[in-house]
Amino acid sequence: MRVTVNPRSARPSKRFPLTVNLDGAKPTVASLKSAIALQAKVNVHRQRITTADKKVLDNDDSPLSDYGVHDGDSLTFKDLGPQVAWKTVFLTEYFGPLFIHPAFFFGSKLFYRKEFEHSRMQQVALVLILLHYAKRELETLFVHRFSSATMPILNLFKNSGHYWGLSGVLLAAPLYGPWNGAARLAGSVQDGDAWLYGWTALWVYAELSNLVTHLNLASLRPKGTKTRAIPRGYGFDRVSCANYWFETVAWGAFTGLTLNWAAALFSAVAVGQMYVWALKKHRRYRKEFGDKYPRGRKAMFPYLA
Q: What is the pLDDT of residues 155-209, one digit of tens each?
A: 899 889 989 999 999 999 999 999 999 999 999 999 999 999 999 999 999 999 9
CATH code given to domain 2-81: 3.10.20.90
Q: What is the pLDDT of residues 39-93, one digit of tens each?
A: 999 999 999 999 988 889 988 888 999 999 999 999 999 988 899 999 999 999 9
Q: Which residues pair with 47 in a beta bridge?
A: 79
Res 226 pLDDT > 80:
no
Mean per-residue pLDDT for 268-296? 95
Q: Name the packing angle between helices 120-142 and 242-258 (round to 10°).
A: 160
pLDDT computed for residue 12 by the predictor: 65
Question: Which regions of the chain carry the CATH code 3.10.20.90?
Answer: 2-81
Burial of 265 (0-12, 13-18, 19+ CB in 10 A): middle
Q: What is the pLDDT of residues 101-120, one digit of tens each?
A: 999 999 999 999 999 999 99
CA 286 remoteness from chain centre? 21
Statement: the pTM of the whole predicted model exceeds 0.75: yes
Distances (CA, A) of 302 to 59, 78, 245, 293: 31, 39, 8, 16
Q: What is the pLDDT of residues 248-272, one digit of tens each?
A: 999 999 999 999 999 999 999 999 9
